[in-house]
Structure 1
């Protein structure tokens, strides 16, 4: 690729240098030569850039060829017979290349029979018509027929002696046929425009700019040919305007191709734009804007229906033109894009869109998967805590109670026993059993309070307040929630009360639990010293993680000297 681009650049420089020198030798002014070089080299430079940026697209090659062949007509001013003949014969080759470029834009391929025939005819017209014209062209006789002052140019080695009188007829027919070819080109582009979709019309816009400029100057060229008396300042103004505006044509073509490149660059921000949880409707709008296709349909794969469904629940079939399937990294179906078939001509753009869409949808899948797994873990842990509490209550705790009852019966049997040391030992064992029973009840309550399971969050918070180390006022609505939600809310209050007693030096705490808009809102407020920070305290940080596991959020407001307000919100339907 580097070699090809280097050869094209060298050919453009050589062609322009020789052509500019020949133009100046044939009477062109410095301004004429500068404008001529600007047009030719603009095509060549734009073509090389387009070729480099999009090597699979032939448009860049055609633009570079247009820039190189732009200077062929100037060779008539060299004074070298062979070069004069080449310039006279192939003067119109750049027009044929421009025809090829326009009708094949934006992908550089001739996709229909009419366009292929028209392009072949254009090259044939230059090859045959240009040769016939060169065979009858004597620059010393046919003056004013080209933009060059070639009275002293030549000689023309192709000139057939005695055929000079035919030149006006051949040249007129050559120009007339060229004009007809140009009108056919315009008709084909108009037909493509009428049949094109919105996305295709956007792609064809540079070709329309080229047609508008080329057609206008073909008309003026015909006027100048039919009115040879129109010369001097008017003719100079025409050529100046022609050269200046034609520099816009390669820029328009290059902008059209790079616009597709910019579309791919815009795709990179697609995931950020749609957010972490993309709504299908919003995602479709973003994709339609990036692709320039308002008719685009986005369908997501639904395993239950075994089909792709759009946002309205309609089935979208993965068949026909304009269909791009997006699979996950595991090879499973994710989504389907139904778009304008013209977008298939830019596979790199579709691949970039598919990759961004895959990333966005897989992020959603992973997040949902993580939520499911986390929810199962939280519920399993909550179930396990309940089981441990029941096992302690029905197992070890019950055995300790039975042992304590048996020991009391033994103590009654020893009431009349003469050995007091034996009765003291029994009393000591009874105290140890009572202490162990109390500690075991505390452990069981810390794992999962039985009152929370039996009666719900409100009574459990009241029981917790009675056991707290400082005064606690509870206001809770008499309502039951999901067991995981109740458990999470209960231990949130436990942590808040513990922090208030140990760190905040609070004198009192208020606790509220209420249902608001599908969420359980738990709030604890103390009158302590404040200064609590979730980033520094492992208790609050763990509490935030516990709430996040059930899609809850934690808010802590704790100004220094202003007490601490802890607010937890849990979704509960």
Structure 2
């Protein structure tokens, strides 16, 4: 059932989308009155609505982060200056006053990205200066702006627009000086913003730079073109390059700004795909983890080469890394990993910037907890081991739900957003922009398919919903070789079902990779109070649990639920693996 918070966010997103549509429609109508071509209008809509669409996706993905809201506001205010193309005095005055409001919002977005908030006094002062320049400077400029006389004062070519409701005719002679000072102040402010961005980049950690590189590139390009655009107003002779050159700069500036919201989404998707690597962490850690191998897997999953991993040592009462040194649990950038019963297992000492992505840390901690509890399982009595296996399966199920309901859902929304943008680009003269949208759509589809495969490998949803028999049939359809399944259509204890399922997973993997089998048969029958699962292949045989960690781990897992594993694998005679699990 939808919570009150979810309903509130959905309402806010609906209102935001409506504002985006209305602002875009009004701005395009006014822009068309100035004689703008269809290509100009489409390009203008592409920029504004790109911010709105990307902002809505970001807002929905991270409601607590204000970046999405700022992107929507940037998209809505993008069209305000176009209202100078109307003949309504009030609308003209509004458009002239707030023509540069989207620039101030863009500066706010750049300085607050990716946290969605201004983190230093310097960035807060720059943002306040940007809004003050538009509110005060824009008003003074509008009071002096006569569209009939100052025909080259805006980016619009509209000699018949206006009149200006706020025009004070007695002050008109000062317009040129005020207009030059207004744009010069904007250019200087842009320089300071560029300096702030460079400083933040230099101070950023290696992990954050890798995760956010696409967005930083987009922001840098947008700032460069923003400053270039200002040169038309600040340096008089620069505008003499000709209308064709000026239009080329405007076109490139618009295209660069289209890239900013999608660069942000690229960074956002990079973080979600990083969560998809959690399944690889589970595989890399395996059932027999050591500190060095676990740390290497964590470095790959988190993208943090500075990470230290401390494993809890009861005899020392401390977390100890692979070199024998103790890891201090106090301070920033520490994520403890505890067992289901509260026992300390490990401590991650990572880049503090990773704390801004708590979902990623939670998923990694859950995967590490799963691996370490499986290792601890083999050293405890069977009753304790059974409880831990249940916790591990619950973690698998939670990981699958997190991937399905979190990353996959957000990727789908991103795909829908890209498709809407692609439809909006139909007929656009720039083929590279459409090709970029097509490439983004293709990459998102591939990412969704890969993420579904990852979630299926961690814990298949069909096993929870429908039971063992449908799950085995689904597994057979995905196998690398022909598999025939005969299973009783009944339900068992969830722990028994998951143990039986992963037993078959392991045997099918062995049959395909090691046994060189051509076909496999799988049966699952209820016999005498036990679930008997048997797989038979026609491979080369010779399987030995003493020489392979896969079968040995499988035997440990089955023993943890008081089950028995039998292996018959004569050389050249195929392999028969039979698991007997108590099920009442």
The whole-number CA distance in structure 2 between the counterparts of 1:263 and 1:218 is 32
SS at 2:141 equivalent: helix
The structure 2 residue matched to 1:35, chosen from 35, 43, 57, is: 43
For 1:332-347, what aligned pairs fall within 5 Å after superposition?
332-347=343-358
**Pair 1:260 & 2:271 matched:** yes
**Per chain length, whose mean CA-contact separation is higher, i.e. which structure has more relative contact order (CA < 8 Å, sep 6+)?**
2
**CA distances 1:432-489 after superposition (whole Å, capped 9, x unpaired):** xxxxxxxxxxxxxxxxxxxxxxxxxxxxxxxxxxxxxxxxxxxxxxxxxxxxxxxxxx
Shift of 1:170: 1.1
**Pair 1:22 & 2:33 matched:** no
The whole-number CA distance in structure 1 between the counterparts of 2:76 and 2:214 is 20
The residue aligned with 1:387 is none
Shift of 1:266: 2.2
RMSD between aligned residues: 3.0
The residue aligned with 2:336 is 325
For 1:60-459, what aligned pairs fall within 5 Å after superposition?
60-225=68-233, 226-227=236-237, 228-369=239-380
The structure 1 residue matched to 2:12, chosen from 4, 8, 13, is: 4
- On the 8 A contact 2:191/2:227 being kept in 1, the answer is no
Shift of 1:369: 2.2
Shift of 1:533: 12
Q: Kindly tell me: are residues 231 and 144 of structure 1, through their superposed partners in 2, closer, same or farther at Cα, counting changes over 3 Å?
A: farther
The residue aligned with 2:418 is none
Q: Kindly tell me: are residues 370 and 270 of structure 1, through their superposed partners in 2, closer, same or farther at Cα, counting changes over 3 Å?
A: farther
Structure 2: runs of 5+ lacking an equivalent: 1-8, 386-540, 545-553, 576-584
- On the 8 A contact 2:282/2:368 being kept in 1, the answer is yes
> TM-score normalised to the size of structure 1?
0.65
The structure 2 residue matched to 1:557, chosen from 551, 565, 570, is: 570
The whole-number CA distance in structure 1 between the counterparts of 2:543 and 2:342 is 45
Shift of 1:549: 7.7
The whole-number CA distance in structure 1 between the counterparts of 2:569 and 2:23 is 75
- On the 8 A contact 1:106/1:203 being kept in 2, the answer is no
SS at 1:148 equivalent: coil
> TM-score normalised to the size of structure 2?
0.64
Structure 1: runs of 5+ lacking an equivalent: 375-530, 535-543, 565-573
The whole-number CA distance in structure 1 between the counterparts of 2:158 and 2:381 is 81
Number of residue pairs aligned between Structure 1 and Structure 2:
396
SS at 2:115 equivalent: coil
Shift of 1:244: 2.2
Shift of 1:545: 7.7
SS at 1:140 equivalent: coil
- On the 8 A contact 2:222/2:256 being kept in 1, the answer is no
Structure having the higher Rg: 1
Shift of 1:14: 0.6
- On the 8 A contact 2:555/2:565 being kept in 1, the answer is no
Shift of 1:367: 2.7
The whole-number CA distance in structure 1 between the counterparts of 2:188 and 2:328 is 45
The whole-number CA distance in structure 1 between the counterparts of 2:261 and 2:24 is 16
The whole-number CA distance in structure 2 between the counterparts of 1:194 and 1:183 is 17
- On the 8 A contact 1:139/1:154 being kept in 2, the answer is yes
- On the 8 A contact 1:85/1:134 being kept in 2, the answer is yes
The whole-number CA distance in structure 1 between the counterparts of 2:542 and 2:32 is 85
SS at 1:301 equivalent: strand
SS at 1:315 equivalent: coil
The whole-number CA distance in structure 1 between the counterparts of 2:214 and 2:277 is 21
Q: Kindly tell me: are residues 549 and 27 of structure 1, through their superposed partners in 2, closer, same or farther at Cα, counting changes over 3 Å?
A: closer
- On the 8 A contact 2:229/2:250 being kept in 1, the answer is no
SS at 1:368 equivalent: coil
